[in-house]
Amino acid sequence: MAAPSAGPRSALQQKGLMTADRGRRILGVYGMHPDHQEALKKNRVVLAKQLLLSELLEHLLEKDIITLEMREHIQAKVCSFSQNVELLNLLPKRGPQAFDAFCVALRETKQGHLEDLLLTTLAGLQHLLPPLSCDYHLRLPFPVCESCPPRKQRRLSPDTVEHSLDHGDGPPGLQVKSCTPEFYQAHYQLAYRLQSRPRGLALVLSNVHFTGEKDLEFRSGGDVDHSTLVTLFKLLGYKVHVLLDQTAQEMQEKLRDFAQLPAHRVMDSCIVALLSHGMEGGVYGVDGTLLQLQEVFRLFDNANCPSLQNKPKMFFIQACRGGAIGSLGHLLLFTAATASLAL
């Protein structure tokens, strides 16, 4: 009798290898940040001993960090220590948002001391990174350069630029240049500490397509404006979040969520850019409802966002001004609870 063909088995094995490789690639792209994994690892014993899972698992389930099957698998373990270990084994595999969601869940379940432990460890890991490069060989107390040198300059194509709001007369590319040593020496004592890596979190919210009774026009070139800001903030060393075409209620909710991100605790600053139609004192959502800027600023004050207390919070507002020709462009720099500067 002839030996069975190895063809089908080889095909199945090859398919299995391809599936496994795809899983590894997905985990590499969408897995937890290495610093977050290291923070969990360094505190693994404490977490395994002290975590209280009964309510915590429900929060993680609600945030889609774990599934029902995972919760049941964890709860099937015989003791709390084993259950905690099982959760700690799962978390690094649950995507880039798992660490932040875990920290929020700890806070919401009155286990904030464990969140503080993780964030303190994370801050220590980030401080181990090499300092920003500097073009000047001077003994200065802070780095001179205001950004990491970019690996590749992003340039806007002529076809894209001609549709932007500046009608193509803006710069073809973006560059971030260091200040001179003389300027730095004269001003560094007045500067905020900006040494975290990244420098901070930035949110760019751009509304382009509008509906509703206000009959607001399509914001031609809005996509170019928001892309340019994203590129600039990245060159300045910020981690950028982008939101497009939000209603006023969605804007308020997303801004509140952004202000409550645990990562702000270990960052040195924050940027919020709002690009939309608007009027004096407010910006429109895509539904034509006005969101008051004072409500936006309130979300980031010391009472509502203690993680950014005594840190610079920069707000860039680009919106048309009601009843006037032209646009309303503001830079608002909130340095503490009440101080602000409008340019």
Could you list the active site residues?
Answer: 277, 320
What is the rounded distance in angstroms from the CA atom of residue 327 to the CA atom of residue 329? 6
Q: For 277, how many CA atoms within 13 A lie in the half-sphere containing its CB? A: 22
DSSP characters for 306-327?
A: GGGTTS-EEEEEEEEPTTSSSE
What single-letter DSSP state applies at residue 342?
B
**Structural contact between residues 51 and 111, judged by C-beta atoms closer than 8 angstroms:** yes
CA–CA–CA angle 95, 113, 312 (5° rounding): 75
Tokens of 129: 């990174």
Cβ neighbour number for residue 283 with a 10 Å cutoff: 24
In order of 103, 255, 314, 338, the CA distances from 296 in angstroms are 24, 7, 12, 14
Distance CA 118, CA 100 (A): 10
